[in-house]
Every structure is written in C-alpha cells, then in structure tokens.
Structure 1
C-alpha cells in the first residue's frame, strides 16, 4: 500500500518551492511526471529541474502521458471522463513500481485551487492516504509581480474561469475578478471600456511577461503578446485580474 503527496510547486520557479515542499520531494520514493506532447516538453523539464534542485539523490521518476479530453458530450462530462482516464494512467505508473511506499506529484500552483489532482486521487484503487503540501498560487504570483492588492478596501473579489466569464458575464457585485484557465482571452466578451486589467504570463519565471492598463487600450497588445509567446515556447500559462471602473 502506498501513500500519495500532492506538492504545490508555484509557477515553476524552484524558488517558489517551500521548505515543506522540498522535504516532501526528498521523502518520495516515486514521483509521477506527466507528459503533454513534444510542444510542452518544457513542463516536464521544469519539474525535473525542481527535483534536481532540492535533492542530492533524486527519487525514482515515472512518466505518464496525459490523455486527450473529449468535449462532444458536454464540458462537465468530458472533464469527468478525462479524470477517470488520468487516474488510470496514475494507477498504471504506480503498479509498475510495486515496491514504492511514498508517491508524489508536483502540482503547478496549489493543489487546492483550480486543480483537479485531488479529484483524480480520489479515483485510485485502493484509495491511498493523501497529503497536500500547499504551494504559491498563480494568483499570488500575479499580484506580487504587479505589486497590487487583490481586493479593494473592504471589498470582496471573485476567482473564476474564462468559460464562466464567456457564458455568464461579469459576476454580480464583484469589484475585482481574477480569471484563470482562460485560453480564449475571454475578457473580449466584456464591454472592455469598463475595465482595467493586470495580466501576466509565465509569472514568477524568467520568461515572465506583464501587461496592465485600461482593458480597451491593452487588449490587443495582450492578444498579440500571448500568441507570440505561445508560438515561441509551445505552451503558455497566464492569468489576469480585472477591475470594474467606477464612473
């Protein structure tokens, strides 16, 4: 029987790994690393770099391929079936190493914020004891990079996804909205003259790109910059914060 540790590693910068996270990496017998295709090979390489940075003798590594997600049966059902498929890949990788007792995965950001690793872990059989080591989130890294507070004085903020912005518009009564998981640049669906934006890609990494200002004035710059960066690297991780202007 094995136990499972999900380790938040921030945005890929080894300096974002906490002392607790580094110790959890050293304690692991086996670390699972996903592969997402040749264009995203750097993502596995960043995990390998972090492991090498915090260990003298790296633990055993098992690679697994991320299956493609179906969308023809609807978003939620497609994600549910995708999680089943990923859990099976985890199970196969762990079963191929039957003597290990401490298994770990390195999770971008924090395993508890817009990440599905905990849901996937719950599908493993037998069910392992699962531990979470928190990590720096992309949201923390973004606001730190722009040197801004996430909330206005005495006000709440909303964390949501690009899909919900496109489908539902601006959340009611929110003064600021942080948008994650948005490959479609969903801010384009809003009345852009009404908002300011703080956008970042590869936040906290050496490739970091930051753009901020009135949304209507910088939207095209973000679109062009994002497309260029994705073409250069083969992948992109970005996040942004929107604030509704007070007339």
Structure 2
C-alpha cells in the first residue's frame, strides 16, 4: 500500500486572493484589491534574497492599505539562469517549469502549515508574465489542499507606461504585440512593427536605430524614470539609466514601446463599404 496525499475533499476550502498591486506605486491598487487584502488572514510573497527590495515594497503596501496584515516570506528556490540551459526557447521553458514545480512545493508547505484565507500580492497584474496562477494550479493538482482562487486585476506596467508618456499603445486600427526582451528579435523578424516589451535582462536594441522608443523604468516608484526618442539617439542614455536604477534602488523593472519608423502615428484607411 502506497502513501497518497489526503484528498482535497477532506480539507477545508482555502480562499486565495491573487491581488494585482500595480507596478511600484503604493496607490496603484484598486479599491477591490484593497478589500481583498483586508479580508485575508495573512499574505504570502516570495523572498528572493535577504533584504529583497520588492518584498520590502510589498510590506509597505500592506502597511498602507491593510495595517496589521502579516506578509509571510517564502524562500524562492534557485533557478538555473546559465546560458547553456536557457539558450533556446525550449530549454528556457523547461528550466522555468522546473522552477515552478519547486515554487509550488515551497508555497504548498506554507499554506498547509497556516490556515485561513490568503492574499498573494502580485507585482503589476497577474495576467502579464507572472507565475502565480500556474503555481497555484500545480498545488491544486497535487490534491492536498482545496483552493478557491480569486483574481483581483491590477494596474499593469503597460498601462502606467502609456499614461506617463501620454500614449495610445497602438495606431488606429492596428495591432500591438506584447513580448519579452528574450523574444524581441523573433517578433521583429516576423514583421511586428508596434511592440511592447516586458521582462528585460538587458536592452537588446542594437540594429533598431531607426525605431522609436518610449521607455519607463521602475514605474510608480520614487525612482521612476522616462526616456523617449529615436533608438539610435537614446540607447546609451537608456542603458545608463537602467544601470543607475539598479545601483540606487537595488532593482530595476522596465517596460517600453517600440514603433518602427519615427514614432508618428500614420493614418490608415478606415472607410467601410455598405
């Protein structure tokens, strides 16, 4: 006879609030999200290293909107970031999936040890390049805990970028591509000409000198920095500002819109036939 996890039906249902908290500003959070925080018994977030500034920022946010709500740290498992293991999309995906599994086990342990309803404050919005929902799915699939997961959308960095630069992210009747720095070259080669880029380990903009860029670093935070212009004219400034933010604040999160050409919106034929 083999050991099997207790069936979820034998344990009480746990309500999990996955709360988008904005891109860095303490007031970039919705009223609905604040109510979810205040209705929770405690909150959980990953601690990536001692003194993690993003964990500290979450503590500050809870102090403002849900005083007394404890933020429980989950030590974040190490992730393989070596170039040999992440050189292709398939390799990278495999590394990330392994990391998600390790995270799921760590989070499940905390949830099993501590009863009550839980808030998980997610940087930006849970719909954009965030692993929280995938991790909770893995926990639910293991069958030890019965989770009732509710998502409270947040203000994403895309929205803040557009607001700060007073932009419409796409041209009239046109499309917009949202991707990561890792995949930028791929989508440009495929013909995309209006691209929002998130999750950047660097700025892979060499060869795109004639494109126009609207860039934002640490949006919503006290170190918020904006740069816009022709890529060939501002690339050195962008890289310097990115390095400065990391050195001064201990972290940098940036997002940018790239548009082929001089950045001016072109009028497309919007006529319809009847």
User: Is 1:8 the equivalent of 2:23?
Assistant: no
Question: Offset at 1:171?
Answer: 5.5
- 1:110-149 equivalences under 5 Å are 110-124=125-139, 125-149=144-168
Deviation, structure 1 residue 41: 2.0
Partner of 1:245: 261
**Any conservation in 2 of the 1:202–1:237 contact (CA below 8 Å)?**
yes
State the match for 2:121 in structure 1: 106
Q: TM-score with structure 2 length normalisation?
A: 0.83
Q: How does 1:58-137 map to 2 (within 5 A)?
A: 58-71=68-81, 72=85, 74-97=91-114, 99-100=115-116, 102-124=117-139, 125-137=144-156
Which structure has the bigger radius of gyration?
2
- Following superposition, which runs of at least 4 residues in structure 1 exceed 3 angstroms of deviation? none
2:228 maps to: 212
Question: Could you tell me whether the CA contact under 8 Å between 2:18 and 2:122 is conserved in 1?
Answer: yes
Pick from 31, 34, 41 the counterpart of residue 43 of structure 2: 31
Whether contact under 8 Å (2:211, 2:259) holds in the other structure is yes
Distance in 2 separating the partners of 1:70 and 1:127: 31
Distance 1:24 1:194 in 2: 46
Q: Distance in 2 between matches of 1:67 and 1:123?
A: 16
Q: Is the 8 A contact 1:11 1:138 kept in 2?
A: yes
How many aligned positions are there? 240
Matches of 2:177 and 2:218, distance apart in 1: 22
Q: TM-score, normalised by structure 1?
A: 0.92
- Deviation, 1:90, is 0.8
Uncovered stretches (5+) of structure 1, i.e. residues with no partner = none
Shift of 1:13: 1.1
**Equivalent position of 1:158 in the other structure:** 177
Please list the CA deviations of residues 164-185 of structure 1 after superposition, one character each: whole Å capped at 9, or x if unmatched.
114x150534331000111121
1:236 and 2:252 correspond: yes
Contiguous gaps of at least 5 residues in structure 2: 1-11, 264-274
Q: What residue in structure 2 maps to residue 50 of structure 1?
A: 61
Matched, 1:175 2:193: yes
Shift of residue 55 of structure 1? 2.2
